[in-house]
Each structure stands twice: as structure tokens, then as C-alpha cells.
Structure 1
Amino acid sequence: MMDNSNVELCSPLKQLIDEHVSLRADMDLFYEITEEIEYDSGPSVVQLFLKLYQQILAFNDKLKTHSKREEEGLFPLISRHLKKNDKTIEEMECEHKKADQHLQDFLTEADKAGSTIDESDVQWITVYAVQAHATLIQHFAKEEKVLFPMAESILSVDEKEELQRLLQAYPYR
């Protein structure tokens, strides 16, 4: 894979990178909480977990919006230009699913534990948030270094304008 991260990107691709910046900031916040949970003990761990749960809940909504913008906007446009056996977009979608599954597992298990959650539950459920973080850090880097520069070079001016319209149809919040 070539590192094309110095390529000047069009406005809609810059928007997607800006969303990564926002999502990374949220991820940093929830990752800090996971570290506190890992190194803390006692009743404060459950309180930290409740804070983590709220962070993940809000983050998950933002991530779903971002993923939809890529999956329904950017990915189909790029796919038009790729050879039949090119798995780039398939890989990206797989990484989206993997991160989403980690977050869903976290939320599901937290909901199952409910108000009876204890320190042991907190420790193993938090692993899902850590896994989501790791998956997304790698995924964002791959998009920024490879996918977005590729899109910049292969998409026509009309397709970039189409992407801009598609992004406006699914506003990021």
C-alpha cells in the first residue's frame, strides 16, 4: 500500500477526515475511562463504567452516521473504478462491521448486567470498548493514508460533486 497522505483532498473527503478527528477525540475520552477502569478497583469502577457506557452510547450514534456516509456515499463511488478482484471496499466494510460488533457487544452486555453489574463484569465488558478503539484507530489510519487519497485520484469532478451532495443528504452531527 502506498502512503498518499500528502495528497490535497477535495472538500467532501476533507469533511470525512474532519469527522475522523471528531470521532478520535471521542474515542480518546472513552479510552481514558477504560484505562482508569483497568487500573482502579472497588465501587468507583462501577461509576466509571456508567460514565463509559454513556460515552459509548453517544459515540456509537456518531460513528453510525459517519459509517453510513462512507458506505452509501464514498464506497459505491470508489467501487465503480476498482477491478473486479480488488477487495479494498470489502475490507473497509468488514472493518466497519467489526468495530460496530465490538460496540454492540459492549452495549448488549452492559444492558444485560444492568443495575447488578459488579467489578468483574465491568472488567470483561470493557474489553469490547478497547477492541472497538483498536479497530477504529487502525481503520481510520488506513482510510486516511490509502482510501481517501485513492478516491481523490480516481473520482471525477462530477463524482466528487455527487459525493458532496450525498454527504449533505446524511448530515454528520
Structure 2
Amino acid sequence: MPEHAGLKFTVPAMRILENEHRYLSFLMEEWHDIVLWFEREQPAPEEARAQLHKLRKAVLEFTGPLKKHTVKEETHFFPLLGRYIGFEQGPLVGIQEEHREIEGYIGHFLHHTEGNAELMTLEDIRAAVKDAGEAFEVLTVHFVKEETVIFPMAEHQLSAKNKERLSQQLNTLIT
């Protein structure tokens, strides 16, 4: 069995990003369970507000590591890969647009859930929770796209020197 079971990539820089995806996915699953709870249940307003509080706390704890991961990709990885594959069209454009979409859904959720949850109706809560669910969906597909398109492209396109430099730049914590 490989030393790093479950990781697909051999280039250290790609392994770092892939490992971060695993961690972020773990955190996402925790708050997505609450989103799914809202889809299954017909809670009383008090119960919905308690679950909303837990969801907001989990999403807030998720946003720090996500932001650090995104900054690493946009500051170091995408500009380097873009020199090989271009910036104007293609997969990097779509991936970066997804970063904005994810930020939008999470930002919308956080904006609409700040303040006193006691003032929110059950309808308001469900609408806000839907944004968290959309963020989860986009993130899940986004990670798959990066791991099936962008990361393999980098493994094959980047020079050995650039792979090493990128590995050093990305070798920082997101927690």
C-alpha cells in the first residue's frame, strides 16, 4: 500500500493542494450534514434557529482554511500554470470564476445569518441554509475539476524547477 494512501498525485505541490482538499472536504461534510437536516426535517422555529447557529459556527470555522487555500492557489499556483496554458480562456478561467461563486454563496449565507437569529422566520432560515448548500455543491464539483483537470495538467506541464519552487511556496498551513 502506498505511503500516502488515498492521494493520487506524485508532485509534492499537487499533493499539498490535494491534501488540503481532503481536509476542506472533511470540514464541509460537518456543516453539510446540518444543511441536509434542514432538507429532511420540518423543525419548529426554535430548533431551526439552534441548528442555524451550529451551521453558521461551522461555516465560519471553514472559511479561514478555505480562504488560505484559495489565496495559495491564486497567488502561486494559477499564475505559474497560466504561463504554460494561458490565462484568457480555458480551465483556469472557469476555476477562478468558481472561486468567486463559492465566496458569493458563503458570503451571502453569512450576511443573511448575522445578527439576531430570533428575528429570522423559518422561511428566512431555509433560504440562508440553501446558500450554504449551494456552496457545498459548487465546492465539491470544483475540487473534482481541479483534481481531474488542473492538477494533472500541472504535473505534466510544469518544469522540474517550477514544480520544486511551487512546492516550497505552497508548503504552508491553512489551519
Percent of counterpart pairs with the same letter? Answer: 27
Aligned to 2:68: 65
TM-score under structure 1 normalisation?
Answer: 0.90
C-alpha offsets along residues 81-111 of structure 1, whole Å, 9 cap, x if unaligned? 1146542211111011100110000000111
- 1-side partners of 2:75 and 2:112: how far apart? 29
Cα RMSD over matched residues? 1.8
- Match of 1:166, as an amino acid? Q
* C-alpha contact 1:7 1:149 (8 A) present in aligned 2: no
Aligned to 2:27: 26
- Match of 1:111, as an amino acid? E
Q: What pairs with 1:23-102 in structure 2 (closer than 5 Å)?
A: 23-40=24-41, 41-42=43-44, 43-83=46-86, 86-102=89-105
Closer, same or farther: CA 124–113 of 1 in aligned 2, 3 Å: farther
- 1-side partners of 2:169 and 2:88: how far apart? 26
SS of the residue 2:84 aligns to: coil
- 2-side partners of 1:92 and 1:11: how far apart? 21
Q: What pairs with 1:1-173 in structure 2 (closer than 5 Å)?
A: 8-40=9-41, 41-42=43-44, 43-83=46-86, 86-111=89-114, 114-168=117-171, 170-173=172-175
- Match of 1:165, as an amino acid? Q
TM-score under structure 2 normalisation?
Answer: 0.89
Q: Which runs of 4+ in 1 moved over 6 A?
A: none
What is the count of residue pairs matched by the alignment? 167
- Give unmatched runs, 5+ long, in structure 2: 1-6
* C-alpha contact 1:46 1:118 (8 A) present in aligned 2: no
- Match of 1:150, as an amino acid? M
116-125 or 64-73: bigger deviation = 116-125
- Give unmatched runs, 5+ long, in structure 1: 1-5
